[in-house]
Amino acid sequence: MLIATIFAPSEVERVYGETKIAITTIQTQASRTLPHITLGVSGDEKELDRCDGTFTEMLRYQGAGATPTWAAHNNCGGDAILPWEVGQQLSIDGTTYAVVDIRMLPKRVATSEDLLGIQGELTLQTCLYGQQMMKFVGVEKVAAAASR
């Protein structure tokens, strides 16, 4: 394991992340509860790096026509969104939402323009483990998603 960590850290991180996500998914299915997301403060990297289990509204993604984007580091609770597909239901601060759109973008170069057209009332974002990619998940309240 030590050799793998030294010579293939991204691969170790990816396998760790996939294992953690699989365990969390099984726990959520067994409990028959919706995955839960908590929205926190607005800000940028400083607020995101607090790693307090909430999603931070990222001011850098604000722009004309862009939906509010809330992010959390994958190792700070953001990985909850990694296994989600369109149709997944979740709870945000006590309200049921559904995933209506997904976008994968390269890390560190995505801008608010890359998010134009993403469906949903708000977007959740986190990074993939061991990869230079980010996952953006557009969500909207279930009543709104059902009327589409």
CATH number of domain containing 140: 2.40.260
Q: 114 Cβ partners below 8 Å, 6+ apart?
A: 103, 105
One-letter amino acid at 131 equals Q
- Of the ranges 5-9, 12-16, 30-34, 70-74, the best mean pLDDT one: 70-74
Q: Structural domain tally of the chain?
A: 1
User: Range of 35's domain?
Assistant: 2-146
Say how far apart CA 148 and CA 144 lie, in whole Å.
7
Residue 43: per-residue pLDDT:
96
134 closest CA partner among 82, 61, 64, 58: 82
Question: Which 8-state DSSP code applies to residue 128?
Answer: P
In order, the DSSP letters of 48-100 are HTT--SSEEEEGGG--TTPPPEEE--GGGTGGGGTT--TT-EEEETTEEEEEE
CA–chain centroid gap for 74, Å, is 8
Higher pLDDT among residues 25 and 103, named by residue: 103
Give pTM, 2 decimals: 0.81
Interval 112-143: pLDDT, tens: 888 889 999 999 999 999 889 999 999 999 97
The average confidence (pLDDT) of the chain is 85
Do 132 and 107 touch, CB atoms closer than 8 A? yes
